Structure 1
Amino acid sequence: MKISPSILDADFKAVQQDLDSIATADRIHLDVMDGQYVPNLSFGPPVLKNLNYPVEYEVHLMAQNPDRFVDLFCDMGVSTFTFHIETVTEEKALELFNGLKERGVKAGICIDGATPVSALSDEVLDQADQVLVMSVQAGFGGQSFMPESINKIKTLRARGFKAEIEVDGGVNLDNVKLLAQAGADIVVVGSALMKQPTALRANLITQFQSS
């Protein structure tokens, strides 16, 4: 299993130290919120673009009108840009996919905790490089895992989706094996990792990766 630690719970005054402590992860997960699609705010682009990332990083955009952010994060060098299907029409999603791929960035689409897989059309799944399944409601760290997300993963695979499935929300060492068995490729880990002392994180990352 690949692991993408979220720095949503990172210490604002020690973000770089937190990043350095998770250098053995497969990638870094950046949660970006606008205070509209979700009520919270997160680290803004001015902070994010001035950090030194030890591995590739992806953006999970929880914001209305995601096209406003494409140029900004593509210029930052993100590997994957993921936005919510709840914030766009199918036509807009496909348009954004094309624009991202032209920039050499993988295009991801996210479904929130309460959103069924049926919200993703066959056309969207055919073009997506990644589906991010939220196993909580987007916007808040430290929530409990929603078991129904396991069936969402299985449904995506049953529909023939062969690209990457990522799971975000309430992931820990108790449920990561179930996610792997269901067909997930990568998990976003927040509180279960980032609220632990920095000296323990490399070992925890190894445990997740071996699941």
Structure 2
Amino acid sequence: MGVTPKIAPSMLSSDFANLASEAKRMLDFGADWLHMDIMRHEMIFNVLTFSAFWASFCRMENWQELIQKIKSKAMRPGVALKPGTPIEEVYPLVYSENPVEMVLVMTVEPGFGGQKFMPEMVDKVRVLRKKYPALDIEVDGGLGPSTIEMAASAGANCIVAGSSIFGAAEPGTVIFHMRSCVLENQEKC
């Protein structure tokens, strides 16, 4: 497949009073990335005092310009697909002169942690993997030891998991299991 597995514990399930130590703990357990949900920042932050850099992103309307600006700051642009959004909506963003580098397929309705995995969303992953073999495809929502196989066999290589990692007695074992499952399924492709 040509894409590497990336396991990203969702900080939404962490102890918010100890974010720095929680982040370090997850990295020490072998996490590749840390996943941070930013939901409706205008409800959390005063936009006038929010970072000028981030605020400039929020004002952009041209997606090609936005992708270029993100890349110019040495960041990787991606796009998220909610369960009700047709997969075709992301095609222009992935197949363009200046494409996004990752598609996140939400396997729950966005908004809060601990929801049940929606298995019907793996069809979107399967279609994306077939169409874009080198694309980072991330799944987020309800991922854990009992659902990782479905996502990995469909072609997801980036796995976001919150409560299944943070709530585990051995978070490192869960991270290792998820990474192994992604690797095993890549070998089958």
Q: TM-score range by the shorter chain?
A: 0.7 to 0.9
Change (3 A) 1:193 1:157: same
Q: Find the residue that maps to 1:30 and give its secondary structure.
A: coil
Change (3 A) 1:129 1:70: farther
2-side partners of 1:207 and 1:124: how far apart?
Answer: 32
What is the alpha-carbon root mean square deviation over aligned residues? 2.8
2-side partners of 1:133 and 1:152: how far apart?
Answer: 7
2-side partners of 1:8 and 1:193: how far apart?
Answer: 11
Amino acid at match of 2:114: G
Q: Find the residue that maps to 1:132 and give its secondary structure.
A: strand
**Alignment match, 2:171:** 201
**Alignment match, 1:25:** 31
> Counterparts of 1:62-141 in structure 2 under 5 Å?
71-72=53-54, 92-120=62-90, 122-126=91-95, 127-141=99-113
Name the structure where helix makes up a greater proportion of residues: 2
Amino acid at match of 2:32: D
TM-score of the aligned structures, taking structure 2 as reference length: 0.78
Change (3 A) 1:5 1:70: farther
Q: Find the residue that maps to 1:144 and give its secondary structure.
A: coil
Paired positions, count: 168
Aligned residues with identical type, % of pairs: 31
**Alignment match, 1:146:** 118
Q: Which has the higher contact order (CA 8 A, sep 6+)?
A: 2
Name the structure where strand makes up a greater proportion of residues: 1
Matched-pair contact (CA < 8 Å) for 1:128–1:163: no
Change (3 A) 1:181 1:70: farther
Query: Which stretches in structure 1 are left out of the alignment for 5+ residues?
Result: 45-64, 74-82
Query: Which stretches in structure 2 are left out of the alignment for 5+ residues?
Result: 182-189
Between Structure 1 and Structure 2, whose CA radius of gyration is higher? 2
TM-score of the aligned structures, taking structure 1 as reference length: 0.70
**Alignment match, 1:164:** 136
> Counterparts of 1:47-66 in structure 2 under 5 Å?
none
Q: Find the residue that maps to 1:166 and give its secondary structure.
A: strand
Q: Find the residue that maps to 1:21 and give its secondary structure.
A: helix
Change (3 A) 1:167 1:70: farther
**Alignment match, 1:3:** 7
Matched-pair contact (CA < 8 Å) for 1:21–1:202: no
Q: How much does 1:159 deviate?
A: 2.9
Amino acid at match of 2:126: K
Q: Find the residue that maps to 2:168 and give its secondary structure.
A: coil
Amino acid at match of 1:140: F
Matched-pair contact (CA < 8 Å) for 2:165–2:174: yes
**Alignment match, 2:184:** none
Change (3 A) 1:35 1:96: closer
Q: How much does 1:155 deviate?
A: 1.4
Q: Deviations over 1:32-76 (max 9, x none)?
A: 11267xxx86xx7xxxxxxxxxxxxxxxxxxxx9xx878249xxx
